[in-house]
Amino acid sequence: MVDIGDTAPDFTVPKAGGDAYNDLEPFTLSDAVADGPTVLSFYPAAFTSGCTDQMCALRDTMHLFDDLDAQVYGLSVDLPFAQNIWIQQENLNFPMLSDWDHEVIHEYDAVLEDMYGMVEVAERATFVVDTDGVVTYAWVREGDENPDFDELTEEVRAAVEDAR
């Protein structure tokens, strides 16, 4: 697993901005971290209740991250076109990254191998990467229970503040 103090594995994936169905552009982590601390919030699947709760908790506290000049991204194996629709449906105020080929979830060891016993997806996880590309916070869900997303968001915000 990627852990605190490790160099964050670099990757390039499609970024869904949410302005339209085809609002896509490439995203490269090493380019993004130069702009400030970066939060990567992995989630299993768009349009599901737990993932919606997770992303909406971030949405509702985005001002706390903006105050720290932090960038926040959701990341899943969903196709970016679906992510764009989900962003619009839930009024999410941050972009989504599409690991459609499952490379990033394996690099970060955040793999849920059998969602509903059928498909490999991202495990619920959050990483904070500082401007040097070093992981300063790492959390991966253990077991089947979701955390209190408001508490997790507060913990991530504190980690971003420390990463500055």
Alpha helix stretches (DSSP H) within 4-148: 29-32, 49-60, 62-66, 80-90, 103-107
CB neighbourhood size of 158 (10 A): 13
Query: Is 51 labeled as catalytic in the residue annotation?
Result: yes
Catalytic residue among 13, 51, 75, 110: 51
CB neighbourhood size of 139 (10 A): 18
Q: Would you state the torsion angle of the CA atoms of residues 114, 149, 138, 23, taken in this order, to the nearest 10 degrees?
A: 70
Nearest-angstrom CA–CA distance, 129 and 147: 21
Question: Cβ(59)–Cβ(65) under 8 Å?
Answer: no
Question: Cβ(24)–Cβ(14) under 8 Å?
Answer: yes
Active site residues: 51
